Structure 1
Amino acid sequence: MHDTVPDTAEPRLIDHLIELRARLLRGVAGLLLVFLALMPFAAKLYALLAQPLLDKLPVTGQLVANDPAGGFFVPVKLAFFCALVISAPWLLYQAWAFVAPGLYQREKRLAIPLLVSAVTLFYAGCAFAFFLVLPAVFGFLARFTPDVVAMMPDIGKYLDFVLVIFLAFGASFELPVALVVLVLLGWVTPRQLRESRGYAVVGIFIVAAIITPPDVVSQLMLAIPMCILYEAGILAASWVTPRPDAG
């Protein structure tokens, strides 16, 4: 009798592993297709990414490649990052399709809006960083750079700097989703979030000072939206809470 349990459990485990492998292969295949489609435009993508800095440099300003192969590999690295960001919905769908059969109906109803919101907020954070933060940061830095210093950043270091900014703002814009998840898990309540607002603001400014470049402009441009997103997270958490939070 004891042998029947492993006999039924083993095929189910194998089925899950086969399904997981299929989902991983589909996700990687989609990512590679997008990457290959972006490869011919890698140089143009980098030129677009460098525009916020070039706009703040003198007319003769330009970026340099200290590594002889940097002129090739750096745009390729950017193309892969763009492919990863563009493929995020497809990758998340593969993960969702794998775990969805094991979820309850209420969990499915909540998970889909959370996933869509997470992707949308990450895109919004990256767009906010590109269109507002980078021009402001580079304008601030160029304004305080001595005239005798020629700003010609290395293309690899510039890409690393910008990617850190994108990841910082993209991840920080996930704050409302994180708060909703914490409330759904029962770790906090909307009332506790409201009562901890002062501590949260202090923590937000500390985080902004740590993950942004050492200038006041980028720190404020991250901290202020995060404070707004914190309030949005409280509202969203109150909306998904089954029982209305008194007070």
Structure 2
Amino acid sequence: MSAVENTNKKSNDKIKSVTLNHLQNYSSVQKVMSIAQSFPVVIGFIQWAMESEINLVNRILDSKMTPALLKYMYARFITLFQKVDNLFEFLVLREGVDSIIKDFQNHNNRMGFWVFWFYIDYMANVFNTLLIEFVIKPFKSVSGNQSKDKITSSENLPNVKELTVTTRNISNDIQGKAMEKYEILFKPTTDKLNNEFFEPAMKTYHDNLNKSQNIPKALYTTGIDIGNLTLEKLNSMKNNNESITKTNQEN
């Protein structure tokens, strides 16, 4: 194992970066690593600096003097770094660079209209992945079919179809949750309004209309009746509040 590979292996074991591991698969990166092997002093310094920094961070985190909040923030930072690292490796390197290289080779190393289809499908893949990672997974909603092991041709737009399924599932899930919230939060209020206001108002209107056989007069009479009923309810609520206040003061 070369000095560069040894350094990368040690750093990756500590950092656990899938992006760094993936980058080593590219020939251009391998050439840079081969050139760097001719500077062992520089490689040794980089390795020493990285190990020193990691050891310092570990000593700080293991110290009893370190506030718990700082340890929590560091753990959250590592979690966020790993998520961003995984997304970058998947979206930019695997689904971006690797996919376009494969499509380029499949088209005899020639540019063409297939680039347009690749762009559309790639953007659909990006949006679909972000929806799954930041909408579906955090709220434990519907499951998305995110494949990370197979690179397909972009001409059939598989990611556009998958994005359509994902967005449709999210829409159905949101509608279901909205109906649940409606049943809990709003339906009791609407039922109360319907039972105490709308139904009595319609009954009063029909009674007045049957008596007078005159729509304007029935509307006018109904308005007066509703106003009187509203005043009665307001006075009743006011009397109840005054009674409760008086009882509290006596106690």
TM-score of the two chains, using structure 2 as the length reference = 0.26
Q: Which has the higher contact order (CA 8 A, sep 6+)?
A: 1
Task: Give the structure with higher Rg (CA).
Answer: 2
